[in-house]
């Protein structure tokens, strides 16, 4: 696992560099998209690079998760969020961005169909991730099976409180259930790039990088991934025991070596 501690703007550029490097080498790629605050600066940077010629026309993209039951036109439905924050700003082909269907009549069948779509696309080349203050990735809350696949989950009180800011500050407005890629689904991606900023994420980042692998801190499964990159600002890095070592490693990294 590579840990980079840097200012937020640099982290977004690094993540965008990783995406751009993939697309320049081969335009037919499969990206994994996260919602929430953490990847927004990356989407801004990718949208800017699109203006300069970076094309997503042959890219397919899969979202991590979706709330169950939010109306099709609800602004916080993740399908709408990703459209607003990213997809509408670049040149994805129609239908190229998919997410789990939180409005399906048969939710387990929708989850199985979603897994099949990812597999049919050849799997995800690069997965962008945020992390919850309780250590979730996607919506794999504490106690999630480390071998889980896309399924229905119940959001923790902590996550609903954290996300109330997107729902006018009202926890009651935050759905209780979601569909989420499982931890094994995420681990199948070929490169994981997680972004975290702010002190509220410091304990989760410490556990992710330095804690024992445990379902209690689901993101710790990333320690078992052969190509995982953790991009954090100073505040999110503030509980890392080996922060000086990570900083030195990044400072000494050869220019030619990407993420």
Q: Which stretch binds ligand F6R (CB under 6 A): 49-57, 115-123, 125-133, 227-235?
A: 125-133
- Tell me the C-alpha distance between 150 and 82, whole Å: 19
156 binds ligand F6R (CB under 6 A): no
| CB of 14 or CB of 256, closer to ligand F6R | 14
- Region binding ligand F6R by CB under 6 A among candidate stretches 51-59, 127-135, 221-229, 238-246: 127-135
Cα torsion 224, 227, 231, 234 to 10°: value is 50
CB 65, min distance to ligand F6R, A: 5
Alpha helices in the chain (DSSP H): 8-25, 40-51, 78-85, 107-120, 157-163, 183-187, 202-210, 243-251
* 13 touching ligand F6R, by CB under 6 A: no
204 binds ligand F6R (CB under 6 A): no
Asked if 20 is an active-site residue, the reply is no
| 127 is a contact residue toward ligand F6R (CB under 6 A) | no
CB of 130 to ligand F6R, least distance (A): 2
Site for ligand F6R in 218-257 (CB under 6 A): none
Determine which residue in the list 34, 87, 187, 189 makes contact with ligand F6R, applying CB under 6 A.
34
Q: Write out the two tokens for 91.
A: 């040149």
Q: Give me the DSSP letters along 195-223.
A: EE-SGGGHHHHHHHHHSPPBTTBGGGGGG
Which of 19, 90, 110, 137 binds ligand F6R (CB under 6 A)? It is 137
**In this structure, are residues 222 and 192 in contact, taking their beta carbons and an 8 Å threshold?**
yes
CB of 227 to ligand F6R, least distance (A): 19
Q: Pattern 45-64, binding to ligand F6R, x per CB under 6 A?
A: -------------------x
**Options 66, 101, 115, 141, the catalytic residue:** 141
Distances, alpha carbon 122 to alpha carbons 59, 134, 189, 195, in Å:
12, 31, 10, 24
- Asked if 182 is part of the footprint of ligand F6R (rule: CB under 6 A), the reply reads no
Name the one residue in this structure whose structure tokens are 């993540």.
Answer: 15
| Residue 178 phi, psi dihedral angles, 5° rounding | -145, 165
By beta-carbon proximity to ligand F6R, the closer residue of 78 and 246 is: 78
Element (H, E) at 2: strand 2-5
Using CB under 6 A as the binding criterion, the count of chain residues that bind ligand F6R stands at 14
Contact 33, 82 (CB under 8 A): yes
Which residues contact ligand F6R (rule: CB under 6 A)? 34-38, 64-65, 130-132, 136-139
Residue numbers annotated as active site: 65, 134, 136, 141
């Amino acid at each position: 696992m590579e840990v980079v501690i840097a200012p937020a703007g640099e982290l977004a550029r690094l993540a965008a560099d990783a995406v751009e490097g993939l697309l320049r080498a081969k335009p037919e790629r499969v990206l994994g998209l996260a919602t929430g605050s953490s990847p927004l600066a990356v989407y801004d940077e990718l949208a800017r690079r699109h203006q300069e010629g970076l094309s997503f026309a042959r890219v397919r993209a899969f979202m991590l998760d979706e709330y169950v039951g939010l109306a099709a036109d609800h602004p916080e439905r993740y399908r709408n969020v990703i459209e607003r924050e990213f997809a509408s700003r670049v040149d994805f082909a129609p239908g190229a961005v998919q997410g789990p269907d939180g409005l399906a009549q048969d939710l387990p069948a929708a989850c199985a169909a979603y897994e099949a779509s990812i597999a049919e696309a050849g799997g995800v080349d690069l997965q962008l991730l945020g992390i919850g203050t309780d250590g979730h990735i996607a919506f794999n809350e504490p106690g999630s099976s480390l071998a889980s696949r896309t399924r229905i989950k119940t959001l923790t009180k902590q996550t609903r409180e954290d996300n109330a800011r997107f729902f006018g500050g009202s926890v009651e407005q935050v759905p209780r259930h979601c569909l989420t890629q499982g931890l094994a689904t995420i681990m199948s991606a070929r490169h994981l790039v997680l972004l975290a900023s702010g002190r509220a994420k410091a304990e989760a980042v410490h556990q992710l990088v330095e804690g024992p692998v445990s379902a209690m801190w689901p993101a710790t499964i990333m320690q078992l991934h052969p190509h995982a990159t953790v991009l954090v600002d100073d505040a999110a890095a503030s509980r890392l025991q080996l922060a000086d070592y990570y900083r030195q490693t990044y400072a000494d990294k050869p220019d030619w070596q990407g993420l």
